[in-house]
Amino acid sequence: MGHTPCDVCRRAFTPTKWDTQAERKHKENGPPCTTCRPGVHPGNTSAYALYQRCADQLIVGPMGGAVGINILAVKCVMDLMRIPGREQDDLMLQVQELAGLIIGERARERERQEEKNKTRG
């Protein structure tokens, strides 16, 4: 689930005049988006793009794990993106559902890793 933010990855794959020949070859096809980003249903692309812009606005619970997404941040970004008010309700629900799925998967991933560490130690 966790991947490098797209803007960071795009910058990393932008050729520069200081790149070696091997680096230029590595960068020639651009970032590996197809292997990095999860498959997103076409009906959810707007929600996913909005979530990505707000992904650092998660609400953290007392045990340190994310428990939700800051809907005020989502609303602010929707306004900045000039998304019409009538579309914002549906999009907000999609982003909240997506955030819940991602947060849940990350929690399960953490639990699996903790279990794995217990069996090693």
Structure confidence by residue, pLDDT tens digits, 36-55: 666 677 788 889 889 989 99
Other C-beta atoms lying within 10 Å of the C-beta of residue 55: 14
Residue 30: give the domain boundaries. Answer: 1-37
Task: Let me know whether 3 and 33 are in one domain.
Answer: yes
pLDDT of residue 34: 63
Task: Let me know whether 23 and 10 are in one domain.
Answer: yes
Task: Let me know whether 52 and 29 are in one domain.
Answer: no
Task: Let me know whether 32 and 56 are in one domain.
Answer: no
Task: Let me know whether 45 and 104 are in one domain.
Answer: yes
Number of structural domains found in the chain = 2
Structure confidence by residue, pLDDT tens digits, 82-121: 999 999 999 999 999 999 998 998 888 888 988 888 888 6
Task: Let me know whether 45 and 22 are in one domain.
Answer: no
Task: Let me know whether 21 and 3 are in one domain.
Answer: yes
Task: Let me know whether 114 and 61 are in one domain.
Answer: yes
- Give the phi and the psi of residue 69 in degrees, each rounded to 5: -115, 145
DSSP string, 42-101: GGGHHHHHHHHHHTT-EEE-TTSSEEEE-HHHHHHHHHHTT--HHHHHHHHHHHHHHHHH
Task: Let me know whether 54 and 113 are in one domain.
Answer: yes
For residues 49 and 34, give the distance between their C-alpha atoms in angstroms, rounded to a whole number: 15
